[in-house]
Amino acid sequence: MDYNKFESLLKKAVKESFSTIIKNNNIYSFAIITSEFTDSIIAVANTREYMKNCKKEYEDTPLDCKYLIAEWDYGIETNNKEFENLNEILFNEIFIEKSKEEHLSFESKIFEICLNTLRELRNENFFKNLIKKEIFIMFESMDGSFSKTKLKKIVSSLNDNKYKKEYFEWLASID
């Protein structure tokens, strides 16, 4: 697999996705997530309006609406032709016979690319320049394999804002 090409395509996909969704939405957060077997990747976002409605359902745990990606607004159209191309690459790659170690190495490299892409865009002020405010940025895998320590490292590398401290407090409060 050409990881450099994948990284370039991912950066283009994220830029296009984010640029599209901010046109009609008051974005609060943005993330890239991979599927359980790393055979697909999507962008997700959350809006302040969706979060406000979600909090009504989560009166006892309102921060779940902010930081639990499974509760974000998946109704926002965040994916595009570039994400389709990335998913085709991942889908085809997953069917190449690999040892467990080779698959873990592949998965680790994809995770690294996702995190580096978001970090690079954040460091370029890509997100902030487009919407003129800080947002919560995240990367996660749907397989739930990231430990709390790993999640803290991810959040720390992507967020230098008020969300980092609040996320840490929320993370400490969940099982």
Domains of the chain by residue range: 3-173
Q: SS3 of 124, please?
A: coil
At 31, is the pLDDT very low, low, confident or very high (cuts 50, 70, 90)? very high
CB 119 within 8 A of CB 11: no
User: What pLDDT, on the 0 to 100 scale, is given for residue 58?
Assistant: 67
Q: Which amino acid is at 113?
A: I
Q: Is the pTM of this model over 0.75?
A: yes
Structure tokens at 37: 């077997």
User: What pLDDT, on the 0 to 100 scale, is given for residue 75?
Assistant: 63
User: What pLDDT, on the 0 to 100 scale, is given for residue 153?
Assistant: 95
Express as a percent the part of the chain with pLDDT over 70.
Answer: 95
Structure tokens at 33: 């997530």
Look at residue 24 and tell me whether its pLDDT is greater than 70: no
Look at residue 25 and tell me whether its pLDDT is greater than 80: no
Cβ count near 102 (within 10 Å): 11
Mean confidence (pLDDT) of the chain: 89
CB 153 within 8 A of CB 119: no
Distance CA 84, CA 63 (A): 31
At 54, is the pLDDT very low, low, confident or very high (cuts 50, 70, 90)? confident
Distance CA 175, CA 171 (A): 8
> Hey, which residues does 132 pair with through a beta bridge?
none
Look at residue 114 and tell me whether its pLDDT is greater than 70: yes
Over residues 42-56, mean pLDDT:
84
Over residues 21-27, mean pLDDT:
79
User: What pLDDT, on the 0 to 100 scale, is given for residue 15?
Assistant: 95
Look at residue 76 and tell me whether its pLDDT is greater than 70: no
Distance CA 14, CA 80 (A): 9
Q: Determine which of 24-38, 61-75, 81-95 has the lowest per-residue pLDDT on average.
A: 61-75
Over residues 114-125, mean pLDDT:
96
User: What pLDDT, on the 0 to 100 scale, is given for residue 96?
Assistant: 87
Express as a percent the part of the chain with pLDDT over 90.
Answer: 56
Half-sphere exposure of 101 (CA within 13 A, CB side): 0
